[in-house]
Structure 1
Amino acid sequence: MIQMRSWMTGLSIESTLELWASSLRDVKARMRPLFTQDRVAVSAGSFLDGLLSDERRKTGWMRAEAAGDSGPWRQQAILGRGNWDAEALRDIVRDYALETLADPDAVLVIDETGFLKQGHASCGVARQYTGSAGKITNCQIGVFASYVSRHGHAFIDRSLYLPKAWADDPIRRNKTHVPETVEFATKPSLACAMIQRALSTDVPFSWVAADSVYGVGSIEMTLRRAAKGYVLGVSSSHGFTSWGKSYAVSGTAKEITAALPEDAWKRLSSGDGTKGTRLHDWAYLDLADLDAGDFGADFTGTWTRGLLIRRNIADGDTSYFTTWCPQGTSIETLARIEGHRWAIEDSFETAKNELGLDHNETRSWHGWHRHVSLVMLAFAMTAVIRHHANVAPPPKTLRKINQMHYRH
């Protein structure tokens, strides 16, 4: 069983063991209807066990060893040859996570992460920039939606980004079993589809936060018409203009920031991170107030478009965000919403280091989505467990938990 440093418990050893065991039984039962044969369902459960084991590499051989199999074939069949719906599992993960984490004030955080690859056969692989490596490299890119509330956080949606060169290549599409319905879509388009899925399934949230990849395009209008606020990153060259205000603002984010007086800045926390409170200097300009009817909404109220700026205390480096919020929303609230993006960065790190998010050995479209969805389920399970406790277990407890896992 994984020794997740972020998994904390104030329960007794016996209660902790039972909570883990009952949670594992629960998630296996939830995904059981996806499989038409018992043996396939058992293999899927074993796959989940392997992801939750304390092996650092979640390869097919490692998962097979944890499951007691003589080789990785059953594990590989779950991702490749088996016939089951990864989209249905995604929905199961979402509904399961929301039973515990749901909150009307939650933030939906959109971000992407890279999956480094050596070859060129894996679906969607190309030389492209990934923040995971901080450079252009050979990788796949996955776009994710994480649900972040006061109860915890978990992934609830995901999509593999298919570069245009791949989308337009019938030979590579055929080799990696890309569905005919899948067309080229930009990362913001993938994110917008995730937001629309969340809206159509009544996922409770009030805000969306994302970096500058997602601060342009149809996402803004989708959220405005749905009465959802947002804090979306934009580039320094992004233009802003005020109207209907006693002051005039017009120019790029960088130009507007340079003209701000020093007393426009306020030192605020955007939340707690692994190293304590995350403090930055913040400035905020509300640029325009719009009645809901002005943008075709079927609700009432006044909303404000604004520019939020974050300045690093140590080196003065600045980041810029376009904002949309109910009139009167404070800068403290906006800074806190932006700070929720830390949760998905932490989730990527945990899912890769502890659950094998980037250890997928298949090359197909459905193999990627199946593997990632199973990891999402494992992550959601730990989030649910974490919600019930808040004190890190002593080393002796962790050893007993691991011993219990390998006995079963």
Structure 2
Amino acid sequence: MGVFLAYATGAGRALIDRRLYLPEHSWLADPGRCERAGVPDQTTFATKPALATAMINAALDAGITTSWVSGDEVYGQDPRLRAALQERRVGYVLALAANRRARLDGVELTAAQIAALVADRHWHRYSAGAGAKGHRLYAWAWARIDDDQPGWRWLLIRRSLTTGELAFYRCYAPIPQPLMTLVRIAGIRWAIEESFQAAKGQVGLDHYQVRGWTPWHRHITLAMLALAFLAIVAAQQPPDVTAQHVALTVPEIRRLLAVLLLPRTRSLEETMRWSSWRRRHQAIARRCHYQRRSHP
């Protein structure tokens, strides 16, 4: 199983690092199996949060700048990952299970218990970001927790407007932050899922049949490189001031490259006309979706 690090900005997102997670009992406790798969002898067991910490530190040491890190519950429950981010003064919005505890006004409570204390007037409706069919609207609340520690810490609570289902995030920042900032970072966490979808659908991230250490790293690295290339090309295109077309997306760029670089069955003019037609109709569909899902 791979653990991946994605980098997300307003211009785009891509996968920038990977680590192979090997379970301790089924893999590393079996030297013969590891030898057949080519696992290096010095490989030791590391949890997924430990692998994530190593990738984040490597990215920061390489000069990549970021103010925030986000991840799911596996990473939100690990105190060592949180401590490493706090030491580097990097904020985080990490998902949290409902039964995890935090200190509120000097009392240890679960996240679900803290949510039950939120009054109706303290819920605020904000968008977690634009999706394919409009803004992802939820009700949000927050509470200051663990205020005896340095920095600023909050429990962020998300409630579905349709089902009432709750989700929780443990948040940290070295300086005070508004609620909308935490909501925005919580929404950006989906960048990792979007990157997986793009990598699998466009560059074949999961199109391999290998059971070896080196082949896995070779295939995954090349797929990540291809996705990063497409993401950079998409980020460098000039804006469409008329808003009549959807911007060139990663799938559209991959499609154009395949037509233009492989043996041609269509002329260049016909290829570009089809691309313009697709993106124009995608823009119309997106406007219709946004209008239908809009709220006063």
With the shorter chain as reference, the TM-score category is 0.7 to 0.9
Give the Cα separation in 2 of the matches to 1:268 and 1:252.
24
Alignment correspondent of 2:262: 406
Alignment correspondent of 1:263: 121
Give the Cα separation in 2 of the matches to 1:221 and 1:402.
45
Give the Cα separation in 1 of the matches to 2:40 and 2:257.
41
**How many residues of Structure 1 are paired with residues of Structure 2 in the alignment?**
253
Alignment correspondent of 1:151: 11
Asked if 1:282 is matched to 2:140, the reply is yes
Alignment correspondent of 1:224: 86
The alpha-carbon distance between structure 1 residues 399 and 249, as it changes in their structure 2 partners (threshold 3 A), is: closer
Is the 8 Å Cα contact of residues 289 and 327 (structure 1) preserved in structure 2? no
Alignment correspondent of 1:370: 218
Is the 8 Å Cα contact of residues 93 and 169 (structure 2) preserved in structure 1? yes
Deviations 1:303-356 (A, max 9, x none): 201101111111011111111013320110000001111111111111111211
The alpha-carbon distance between structure 1 residues 398 and 189, as it changes in their structure 2 partners (threshold 3 A), is: closer
- In the TM superposition, what is the alpha-carbon distance from 1:175 to its structure 2 partner? 0.5
Relative to the length of structure 1, the TM-score reads 0.59
Give the Cα separation in 2 of the matches to 1:313 and 1:207.
26
Query: 1:149-188 to 2 correspondence within 5 Å?
Result: 149-164=9-24, 165-188=26-49
Deviations 1:290-313 (A, max 9, x none): 67xx5xxxxxxxx20110111111
Give the Cα separation in 2 of the matches to 1:181 and 1:233.
32
Is the 8 Å Cα contact of residues 102 and 146 (structure 2) preserved in structure 1? no
Alignment correspondent of 1:326: 174
- In the TM superposition, what is the alpha-carbon distance from 1:206 to its structure 2 partner? 0.6
Give the Cα separation in 2 of the matches to 1:286 and 1:146.
28
Is the 8 Å Cα contact of residues 229 and 323 (structure 1) preserved in structure 2? yes
Alignment correspondent of 1:382: 230
Alignment correspondent of 1:195: 56
- In the TM superposition, what is the alpha-carbon distance from 1:399 to its structure 2 partner? 7.5
Give the Cα separation in 1 of the matches to 2:192 and 2:119.
33
Stretches of structure 2 that go unaligned for 5 or more consecutive residues are: 240-245, 265-296
Deviations 1:88-141 (A, max 9, x none): xxxxxxxxxxxxxxxxxxxxxxxxxxxxxxxxxxxxxxxxxxxxxxxxxxxxx2
- Aligned AA (2:153): R
Is the 8 Å Cα contact of residues 357 and 375 (structure 1) preserved in structure 2? yes
Asked if 1:353 is matched to 2:201, the reply is yes
- In the TM superposition, what is the alpha-carbon distance from 1:286 to its structure 2 partner? 1.4
Give the Cα separation in 2 of the matches to 1:231 and 1:387.
25
Which stretch shifts more, 170-179 or 269-278? 269-278
- In the TM superposition, what is the alpha-carbon distance from 1:180 to its structure 2 partner? 1.1
- In the TM superposition, what is the alpha-carbon distance from 1:160 to its structure 2 partner? 1.3
Give the Cα separation in 2 of the matches to 1:398 and 1:363.
28
- In the TM superposition, what is the alpha-carbon distance from 1:202 to its structure 2 partner? 2.1
Give the Cα separation in 1 of the matches to 2:170 and 2:253.
46
Alignment correspondent of 2:154: 306
Counting aligned pairs with the same residue, the percent is 40
Is the 8 Å Cα contact of residues 38 and 214 (structure 2) preserved in structure 1? yes
Relative to the length of structure 2, the TM-score reads 0.80
Is the 8 Å Cα contact of residues 146 and 157 (structure 1) preserved in structure 2? yes
SS of 1:375's equivalent in the other structure is helix
Asked if 1:252 is matched to 2:110, the reply is yes
Is the 8 Å Cα contact of residues 249 and 287 (structure 1) preserved in structure 2? no
Stretches of structure 1 that go unaligned for 5 or more consecutive residues are: 1-140, 295-302
RMSD, matched Cα: 2.2
The alpha-carbon distance between structure 1 residues 266 and 365, as it changes in their structure 2 partners (threshold 3 A), is: same
Which stretch shifts more, 253-262 or 329-338? 253-262
- In the TM superposition, what is the alpha-carbon distance from 1:288 to its structure 2 partner? 4.1
Alignment correspondent of 1:241: 103
Give the Cα separation in 2 of the matches to 1:276 and 1:329.
26
- Whose RCO is larger (CA < 8 A, sep 6+)? 1
